[in-house]
Structures are given as C-alpha cells and as structure tokens.
Homo-oligomer: A and B are copies of this chain.
C-alpha cells in the first residue's frame, strides 16, 4: 500500500462533520524560549480527547453496509478504544472492545459511555489478540487495528491537513511516534503538500523502538518499554514502518524529564491539559535538545486523557 494525499483529503471530507477542527495555539513566551515560531495543533481538544477520533471515524465510515451491520472489534486499553466506540455509536453499529482486565476503571468508563460491549481478557498481548480474534469470528465484526490500517492512517493524516491549511508555511513538524499511525499520516500529508517540510518523529528514549527500527531497516519490537508516555509503548506496524521509512526525516528521542517538563510547560503556558504522550512532540524543544532557531515548527499535541490524581509532579522525589 502507498498512502496518498488524495486518501487523506477524502478522509477529511468523510469525517470533518464528526470531529472537531482543533485549534492551533501559539505563545510568544514559548517562541522566545525556542527562538522559533511554534504552532501547536491541539488534538488534546479533539473528540474523546485525542487524535484517535480521526482514524477510527474514517475506518468506520469506510465499512460497507453489510460489514457495518456486523460491527467492529479492536483490542485497546487506550484512546483508540474510546475512539472506535464513539465512531461505531455515531454510525449506529455494534462495537466490541477487548480490554485487559487490569485496565483502569476510567478507561472502562470512557468506552462504556459510548455503548460499546467490553470483553475483558488477560493482560497479555497474546490474550488480547486471541480474544479479539474469537470475538471477530463469533460476531463477524471487522477488526480495526489502532494504527496498522490504511484507513486509520489516512484519518490521522487529516490533523496535518488542517494544520497546513492554517499555517501553510511551516518548515518542520514534530510528531510523537508509538505505533506510528499518526506519524505516517502526518508525514505523507506534509511531504505531499510541500516536500521541503521536515517531519520528525519523537519518542521516549525508554521506548525507542522506532529509532531502532529505522536504524536497522526492519521493525524492531518494543521490549520492556519504560516510560511515563503510556500511549507510545507500541512497536511500528508494517504499514506504518513503510510510510515512515519513505517520508520521515528522522526520529528524535527524549528523556523522561524532557517529557514531564514538556507536559508541565504546556500546562503552565498554554493552559491546556496534555497527557505525557501528548506532550512528547514538544520534548526536544523544552530544554533545547533540538535547535530549530528561526524556523516555523508545527508540534502535534496528541491527547489529553490522564488521571488527575496521579500527576508526575505529585510523586515526591521524581
């Protein structure tokens, strides 16, 4: 598969009435600190609190009537679960969400809110996959992967489409990378609109499988990822690896303290809630690791769902 700008544009037409057109925020304070112009695309203010609403909505919209009737299934304990549940509800079809039994109650609640059927499984990848497979066989539901799916990637790319409509003369884009669905879609979109734009993936040093995968030229698994950015622990998929190899200029890794500082700075200065994973794109700039002086930099803030009773700066000694 090769994703094209036309796919992303078609996705945007398909979903734009069902998602927020999220704002692009700027800050004179953060510009002065970076010596650059920064444009924050606020996907933390997206429906369900994360960009995942884009891809899931596009994937569900693309189902045939017959497929749709049988519903959709996925395994996820994160934002994709809520996004798929919501997309299914909007289309009026069943959603089956396989969730590890040890998921936080808040995650269960956010999925249940959209009327999805939750199937609990053991907290292992093997159990998640086998449970989802058996649900699909029993119900005939279509499996929608959180990132390794062309419909999902095209949907995520619409974030970059909007950003570049609002700020056409960007020179660089910084985008968090976990499984790579967002980064793939963003890179395809940005490079198609303007091949001169540099697109960087950003990931936690404690979950640097994307950097290792690009270096090795093949997908490296995410072994014992250790990071507060819980949305970025996945390994790349075949589709996302292909698009990232083709379009992305590099992967930057950030430390845990850069992630927490990025998150806190965004809270304090932009006055918006981002989760640790959602702030990772700003990580390379917060302490000056990456010098983008004089440039016009788009930064994708990907999500804002987190437990307000367990903020990183609440833990003494961290």
Interface, chain A (partner B; CB < 8 A): 23, 25, 44-45, 49, 264, 267-268, 270-274, 304, 308-309, 311, 313-314
Determine how close the nearest CB of chain B comes to the CB of A224; give it in whole angstroms: 30
Q: Is the CB of A271 within 8 A of B272?
A: yes
23 interchain pairs, CB-CB under 8 A: A23-B23, A25-B45, A44-B271, A45-B270, A45-B271, A45-B272, A49-B271, A264-B308, A267-B273, A267-B308, A268-B308, A271-B272, A271-B273, A271-B274, A271-B304, A272-B272, A272-B273, A273-B273, A308-B311, A308-B313, A309-B313, A311-B311, A314-B314
Query: For the complex, what is the distance from the CA of A309 to the CA of B268, rounded to whole Å?
Result: 11
Q: Which residues of B contact A49 (CB under 8 A)?
A: 271
Known: A25-B45, A308-B311, A314-B314. 18 other contacts (CB 8 A): A23-B23, A44-B271, A45-B270, A45-B271, A45-B272, A49-B271, A264-B308, A267-B273, A268-B308, A271-B272, A271-B273, A271-B274, A271-B304, A272-B273, A273-B273, A308-B313, A309-B313, A311-B311
Q: Which residues of B contact A267 (CB under 8 A)?
A: 273, 308
Determine how close the nearest CB of chain B comes to the CB of A213; give it in whole angstroms: 31
Query: For the complex, what is the distance from the CA of A270 to the CA of B271, rounded to whole Å?
Result: 11
Query: For the complex, what is the distance from the CA of A313 to the CA of B268, rounded to whole Å?
Result: 18
Query: For the complex, what is the distance from the CA of A295 to the CA of B270, rounded to whole Å?
Result: 31
Q: Which residues of B contact A308 (CB under 8 A)?
A: 264, 267-268, 311, 313
Which residue on chain B has the smallest CB distance to residue A309? B313
Q: Which residues of B contact A25 (CB under 8 A)?
A: 45
Q: Which residues of B contact A264 (CB under 8 A)?
A: 308
Q: Which residues of B contact A272 (CB under 8 A)?
A: 45, 271-273
Determine how close the nearest CB of chain B comes to the CB of A69; give it in whole angstroms: 25
Query: For the complex, what is the distance from the CA of A264 to the CA of B311, rounded to whole Å?
Result: 14
